[in-house]
Chain A
Amino acid sequence: MSLIALQATNPDINLTLIAPELIIGIAGVLVMMIDAFARRGQRWLTGGLSIVALIAAGGASIWLGAGWRGARSAFNGMIVLDDLRLSFTLIFVVVSILTILIAAAWIDIEKLPAGEFHALLLFATCGMMLMASAGDLVIVFLGLEILSIATYVMAGFRRTDVRSNESSLKYFILGSFASAFLLYGIALIYGATATATLPGTTNIATIAGRLNHSLYPPLLLAGAAMLLVGFGFKIATAPFHVWTPDVYEGAPTPVTAFMAAGPKAAGFASFMRVFVFGFPIATAAASTAGYTHKSWLGTLAIMAALTMSVGNIVAIVQNNVKRMLAYSSIAHAGYALVGFVAAGAATDAEQRSAALTSVAFYLLTYAVMNMGAFAIVTLIARGNDRRTAVEDYNGIGFLSPVLAFSLSLFLLSLLGMPLTAGFMGKVMVFTTAVRQGYLWLVVIGVLNTAVSAYYYLRLIIVMFFRERNTPWDAPRLPVSVALALVITIAGVFYLGLFPGRVLNAFGAHPSISLSIR
């Protein structure tokens, strides 16, 4: 109550503006309480509450986007309200709802504590939302850590399984390692943005204005490089992708699905905000701002090319489906980076906005098709993720047609088959990159999609043409997973056929205004 009282006296404390985060945070605490006091096996209760909270948060953010007429930033610029934030918030809501639906079956099979899982998921979602809404590096860091800590635990959620433990440990050590880099970057930027009269700052919009007045430009550049490393780790760009395959393979499949879609998108949200708006394109190339921009954009373009290529090429030789999808998720981060590079290179606000929209849209399409694919992998894998090798998919095409055809659809969408979501996403990011003149990057991207056909098709061929030698007991399709499949299949077609409405919603207002110096 005191907060609300404070809000009355200090208008910059604006709880409405963080309504989605508040809803999710409170729901997380409630779920934990229910789990502690209710009888065991109450997963419908906690799951239902989580879904309701997520939908409420989604509704709140839609309302903030459509109906809110008040201030567009609060808490001294720490929280901002713009389309970048809202579109990513909606992606997180979708991802988390789908994760709950997919995980329901898995929790049953493995006899895991549902309440804990749902609470962790909600906290992770809260962290992701904070990352997207952060207008200040402090909040970025806070959101990142809330997200990471919850995800470390989720990766090791199958406590008795060695692989799950190992996944969790690797994620934890490498994640903290990278977080330290990020934090050091923040500290250096805080120091480097001081001017003769003003102390340093961590506010992203203010940083942009201070670049050319920096007293210590080398510190600024070093800080930006450190930030790049930290974010690069989070979204798994080459060469910071090394943790991804191991962690994704070892983590329980629903968690892998979540990690590939949610935290990656959250990483993109704050990565883009910090670099596109914090170190924006400068009118004078021979200035501190100009060199900073040139450095990160050049690095990022090369990282995008590397990420796409490494992801796709290594995916070809994988024999484990989860691992293959992990590499595929690396490759997809590379495609999204192409749009990010375009956003960084754009000189006018309209084109920048279009590029940011394309990245958000790409990550939404990726989330939908990826969650769908992992839903089926979860079902086929059974308890303890036993069946995840490619051979386990031999000849199931006409034995379990629903599973096989849905998985084929998701794979084709990941491959970028027209009329599916994946195609639209790629068209978006590639056209925005072409508009900014990044033809070479687009050439590499398109070549990579040709390469990726090989391993996506391989799985389809295995399902439909390979003889099955071992008996196949078709997995039961639980209602929750069926619901998730319906949502994802509808999403794949909806986003592929009628992307207009979503794109409009993602790009209606320009992101925080930016005066180009």
Chain B
Amino acid sequence: MTPQLSWYLALSAMLFTIGVVGVLIKRNVISMFMCIELMLNAVNLTFVAFSSFFHDVSGQLFVFIVMTVAAAEAAVGLGIIITIFRNRESLDVDDASVLKL
């Protein structure tokens, strides 16, 4: 039984959902950040699946761009997290709620 396209799509949709739920329930900033990375990689999986199904290389190229962007985002994100940790000594996002109402 050869794997169908829909299998890959379902898997990536699940991964994306797990990422979304993770962002909502995790309180640690780094965990949240990892969940966002998971969402991005779920999308990458979709791209690769389509790309291979269509025998078209552009989807895979897109994945490279996404990975580059994700790396840049990771660098900046970790930088932000470090500054926050320096000022607050806490990685709990719910502590970061000075700005409200």
Which of A160, A169, A245, A247 is the one whose CB lies under 8 Å from B80?
A: A169
Binding stretch for chain B, among A172-180, A333-341, A350-358:
A172-180
Which of A141, A165, A170, A202 is the one whose CB lies under 8 Å from B87?
A: A165
Contact indicator per residue, chain B 11-30, by CB within 8 Å of chain A (1) or not (0): 00000100110010000010
B54 to chain A, nearest CB (A): 4
Q: Quick check: B99 and A172 within 8 Å, CB to CB?
A: no
Is B10's CB within 8 Å of the partner chain A? no
Contact indicator per residue, chain A 221-261, by CB within 8 Å of chain B (1) or not (0): 00000000000000000000000011101100000000000
Contact indicator per residue, chain B 36-69, by CB within 8 Å of chain A (1) or not (0): 1001101100110110001110110010011001
How distant is the Cα of A169 from the Cα of B43 in the complex, in angstroms? 23
B57 to A, closest residue via Cβ = A199
How distant is the Cα of A255 from the Cα of B96 in the complex, in angstroms? 20
Contact indicator per residue, chain A 135-157, by CB within 8 Å of chain B (1) or not (0): 00010011001000100110010
Q: Quick check: B54 and A194 within 8 Å, CB to CB?
A: yes
Is A162's CB within 8 Å of the partner chain B? yes
Q: Quick check: A165 and B84 within 8 Å, CB to CB?
A: yes
Contact indicator per residue, chain A 269-286, by CB within 8 Å of chain B (1) or not (0): 000000000000000000
Is A163's CB within 8 Å of the partner chain B? yes
Binding stretch for chain B, among A30-38, A185-193, A423-431:
A185-193
A165: B residues at CB distance < 8 A: 80, 83-84, 87-88, 96
Q: Quick check: A142 and B65 within 8 Å, CB to CB?
A: yes
B23 to chain A, nearest CB (A): 6
Is A291's CB within 8 Å of the partner chain B? no
Is A200's CB within 8 Å of the partner chain B? yes
Is B98's CB within 8 Å of the partner chain A? yes
A176: B residues at CB distance < 8 A: 33, 36, 73, 77
B77 to A, closest residue via Cβ = A172
A238 to chain B, nearest CB (A): 17
Q: Quick check: B43 and A184 within 8 Å, CB to CB?
A: yes
How distant is the Cα of A187 from the Cα of B42 in the complex, in angstroms? 10
B49: A residues at CB distance < 8 A: 191
How distant is the Cα of A153 from the Cα of B87 in the complex, in angstroms? 16
Q: Quick check: B58 and A199 within 8 Å, CB to CB?
A: yes
Within 8 A of A (CB), among B72-101: 72-73, 76-77, 79-81, 83-84, 87-88, 93, 96-100
Is A40's CB within 8 Å of the partner chain B? no
A273 to chain B, nearest CB (A): 19
Is A391's CB within 8 Å of the partner chain B? no
Is A183's CB within 8 Å of the partner chain B? yes
B19: A residues at CB distance < 8 A: 180
Is A159's CB within 8 Å of the partner chain B? yes
Q: Quick check: B43 and A180 within 8 Å, CB to CB?
A: yes
A149: B residues at CB distance < 8 A: 72-73, 76
Q: Quick check: B99 and A250 within 8 Å, CB to CB?
A: yes
Q: Quick check: B43 and A183 within 8 Å, CB to CB?
A: yes
Q: Quick check: A162 and B73 within 8 Å, CB to CB?
A: no
B39: A residues at CB distance < 8 A: 177, 180, 184
Which of B9, B32, B99 is the one whose CB lies under 8 Å from A173?
A: B32
Q: Quick check: A199 and B33 within 8 Å, CB to CB?
A: no
How distant is the Cα of A274 from the Cα of B87 in the complex, in angstroms? 41
Which of A163, A184, A191 is the one whose CB lies under 8 Å from B42?
A: A184
Q: Quick check: A166 and B98 within 8 Å, CB to CB?
A: yes
How distant is the Cα of A184 from the Cα of B44 in the complex, in angstroms? 9
How distant is the Cα of A246 from the Cα of B19 in the complex, in angstroms? 24
Instruction: Report 29 cross-chain contacts, Cβ distance below 8 Å, ordered by A residue.
Output: A145-B69, A145-B72, A149-B73, A152-B80, A153-B80, A156-B83, A162-B87, A162-B88, A165-B83, A165-B87, A166-B97, A168-B84, A169-B80, A169-B96, A170-B96, A172-B80, A173-B93, A176-B77, A180-B43, A183-B40, A183-B66, A184-B43, A186-B62, A190-B62, A191-B49, A194-B50, A199-B54, A200-B56, A250-B98
Q: Which 10 A-B pairs have the closest CB atoms?
A: A199-B56, A199-B54, A180-B39, A246-B99, A187-B46, A191-B50, A166-B96, A145-B69, A176-B36, A183-B43
12 additional A-B pairs beyond A159-B83, A173-B33, beta carbons within 8 Å, are: A138-B62, A156-B80, A162-B88, A168-B80, A180-B16, A180-B19, A187-B50, A191-B46, A199-B59, A200-B56, A202-B58, A202-B62
